[in-house]
Amino acid sequence: MDLRINTVHFTADQKLIQFIQEKVKKLELIYDSIISSEIYLKIDKNDMSENKIAEVKLLLPGSELFAKKQCKSFEEAAYLAVQALKKQVERHKSKKA
């Protein structure tokens, strides 16, 4: 799977990038036909504490899955987005079978 992480207006540290890569790669264990994934990390410009946004897009043969979460940390947002995608991938896989 081709994995791209894009950060908007900041630079992510290596620890965060590795964390996200590990979480997204686990989706391949469920469905090995994932072509690529694109992750966008953004900081919302509001004063709330939950201003970290993670958007994850998966490209599958014949379809595209997407999840967006906003939390206090990028790790939490990425984790929740991957969990949402896990359900979508399982649903997609059961439709194909």
Domains and CATH numbers, the chain: 2-96 (3.30.160.100)
Burial of 26 (C-beta count, 10 Å sphere; 0-12/13-18/19+): exposed
What is this structure's pTM? 0.93
If phi > 0 it is left, if psi is from -120 to 50 it is alpha, else beta; for residue 3 that is beta
What are the structure tokens assigned to 24, written together?
A: 């997204």
Q: What is the pLDDT of residue 79?
A: 97
Q: What is the pLDDT of residue 45?
A: 85
Q: What is the pLDDT of residue 95?
A: 85
Q: What is the pLDDT of residue 49?
A: 84
pLDDT along the chain (97 residues), means of 10: 94 96 95 95 86 96 95 96 96 85
Report how far apart, in Å, the C-alpha atoms of 51 and of each of 28, 55, 84, 96 are: 29, 13, 19, 37
Q: What is the pLDDT of residue 28?
A: 93
Identify the sign of the CA torsion 90, 95, 96, 97.
Answer: positive
